[in-house]
A and B are shown apart, each in its own frame.
Chain A
Amino acid sequence: MADDLVLEMRGITKEFPGIVANDNVSFELARGEVHALLGENGAGKSTLMNILYGLYKPDAGEIRLRGKPHTFTSAKDAIEAGIGMVHQHFMLIPVMTVAENIVLGNEPVREGVLLDEAGAEERVRSLSQQFGLAVDPGSLVSQITVGQQQRVEILKALYRGAEILILDEPTAVLTPQEATELFGIIRSLQADGKSIIFISHKLNEVLQIADRITVLRRGKTIETVPREGATQESLARAMVGREVLLRVDKPPASPGDVLLEVEDLHVVDDRGIEKVSGVSFSVRAGEIVGIAGVDGNGQTELIDALTGLRRAASGVVRVAGREYVHATPREMIVAGVGHIPEDRQRRGLVLEFSIAENIALHDYAEPPAAKWGWLFPARLVERARTLIRQFDVRGGGPLTRAGGLSGGNQQKVVAAREIARDPKVLIAAQPTRGLDVGAIEYLHRRLVEERDEGRGILLISLELEEILSLSDRILVLYEGRIAGEHAGEVSEEQIGLEMLGGGRAAAA
């Protein structure tokens, strides 16, 4: 394999003011190889790929393409050299068909000016058959699933003659079933001699699909290892630089009183469409209840209704026995509901505020933060200093702007604020989205600790693995209804089925 290298990056160094993003990084890719690039957020994966894709110019180092030195100056350059990139966020035009999206920028034409629609569809069809990427060229992009949209992105790259495909966190948006299908596609591309760079921070996936794995940490290549012999533990250690506890160490739950009770809750969204249709469940003290589901099945509306951010159409919410109907966010906060929101940047934090000001977001008007409407910034700072230490927030002090922190540290600020109020119920919505291994480990451990403190924890996540590893009970939300409930051991496949609405049929 080594003598058939399609890409060599040697000694790549890229410095930004104040930081070395890539420090003498080397990376190579053989023909027909899947090479995973593994690293925490900020390890330098994106910088390296942006250099390869012609978006950054390296300060030092050499890129060889099929043995010849090559300098990329733009993405166009890279595409012409046979490099294709599938971004995490798709760049498709929803109102155009699959075929139109794929040929965009390089359209087959009829009579010099007209788009050869039939020809385009034909070429897309043959391409999709060749690689086993089933999509209907005539469908509108807005009408196909996320998994299919990803295939369209891959086809787009192949259409432009890509020999090297960069897949940036490709499974982040997929269900487990879709991810399995994607791996099938990757295998068939591989069999066809394409080379694939698979960027991820999910260890199990990497071990499943990659031939070789290169781990980056703080801009340096830590190791390049073959899949054989690598374990999740060894990779995590290389990524983080210390031993990482991957499995959540969780003593059995000892549930107490019911702290949160939801009865026949109905919630409609802004467009008047019912998104939560008669959901009932309860959360006891000292247990973690996980809600699994594909994005958009009513999770957001459910959380909003429980926290007072949205009026429920009907139904009852009880916190520690007290009933709350059409409560305001403030009433729910006072009732003892803590909330780590799913979008920490849009809702969880005022990015322009300092850490101290953000920590005071719920109780800025109560003593000791304030008295008679007069604010005492020094006291906010004092308390923030304590919580920063307690929750191990790094990257700044109490007066640092929250927007200047990394995602993991931003989330720690949110968690610190919510937990410090000593809530009875803690709603954690996608608490580890976009975070790296170290931060995920911390937050998971913390949630279990808070459970053991006697709080009732409602965990809503799109990451099935997270739900499975943390929850004492699991509910599956599908189209606004509870499609499954599991207290003991349950397989990933069963939940995956229920997430797609197949649970009842399969159970029957």
Chain B
Amino acid sequence: MKRKEKTKKAVQVAIVGGGIIGTLTARELSRYELDVLLLEKEAEVGWGTTKANSGIVHAGIHEDPGTLKARYCFPGNQMFPKLCAELDVSFRQNGILVVALSPEEMDMVHMYYQRGLERGVPVRLLSREEVVAQEPNLNPEVVGAVFAPEGGAVMPFELAAAAMENAVANGAELMVDSPVLDAWVEDGKKYLETPTHIVEADVVINAAGLFADEIARMFGDDSFSILPRKGEEYLFDLELSGLVKSTIFPVPRSKVSKGVLVISTADGNVMIGPTSDDVEDKDDVATSYSGFERIFSETRQLVPGLDPRKIITQFAGVRAASDRGDFVIEFSATVPGLLHLAGIESPGLTAAPAIAADVPKMLEEHGLRLVPKRDFQPRREGVVRFRELSREEQDELIRKNPAFGRMVCRCETVTEAEIVDAIRRGARTLDGVKFRTRAGAGRCQSGFCQPVIMEILSRELGIPVEQVSKRGAGTEPVHYKAKELLAKGVS
């Protein structure tokens, strides 16, 4: 489509990027009488770095003093219980444990403990006996640990999708499949071009994650660069649930990363990872033999009982680290009204609610007048999770809606009613359904339920099965109707 033919649209605030930062920011801004538009390049929100995030709500003891990471991490952590309750997303406050495997490593453990005390982070020093009592499956050679009970676990995609849903319910607008192709300033106004629209905005919030530097450069701002850093993760069968209660951290051996962890996810799976490797390509989400070997040998030192035969899937994500080694949270020095929320690497997920909560203040300082909405609804309509209910509650639900009696995903106990609800809330793809409901996320990795979910998506969205995709155009699992190839030939 030529630029002239594209639809023009004017808003007060345009957010570029629907990751955890963009979606939570959209929700914060939807508290006010503002036109807010979020542009997401993928078919659904939360599909970049957010989707592959480890899901750890950090305690706030790892970050070096004086950094923006330290400034936002602990306050972010403190916001999670209320935020997750309002948005009805899974949150487990299962604590984080940094363990020392040698007397030398205890120095670092003491340092984290002291830092926790200084920052007001609840922390406890645990002796060897206390650690073993709390986590019996840890390496028996553990010397001691620092325990931060308010660390936790969420499903990052679920949180992003829920935040967006709530923002939209409060009047924000979402445009998916809308990558920003170009951006410029003209007569003091900022413009963003997507494949279908020219968006004019008073304020542009750059929450474009891995591509935030590219968005900045489109406006002529080259004040930071994103240095992509990949992390691979390996997820175990739910059968291993409970192997560790908290997320287990080693004492870090490098400045860049917190090390390879044994994670207890919000859904109860054990997961190991992530690696931390600089990559050239921002889309490089390939896993590797060497990545697995490193992760496995390191996490085995923490938890010797990890059995590689119980791994059900693996994935990789790319962190959007900035060349400053810290978050970039500031108005552009050269483009008035361009706010960067960039370089959000770990503990970005934990910090996200605190960063988002700061945005309205920053906009007010910039000169925007914010009038709170009288009818802002912080609570998202609750999601039914069939598997978590009692037998009596399940029985009652089926009587109200028979679709709860149709089990689609047997590994994770997900019913047709839950899938239809996810689609109603914005899922348009197999991954969208999976990340919202867990259907297809279990041990058979959708071998049994994928054809059924395809049918449901096809029916609910009113599209042919061949157009149902894994995660957007180009990722359709089945391409042809039977006999079509015979008619067309292979070539």
User: Do A and B share a complex?
Assistant: no
Q: Which residues of A contact B (CB under 8 A)?
A: none
Q: Which residues of B contact A (CB under 8 A)?
A: none
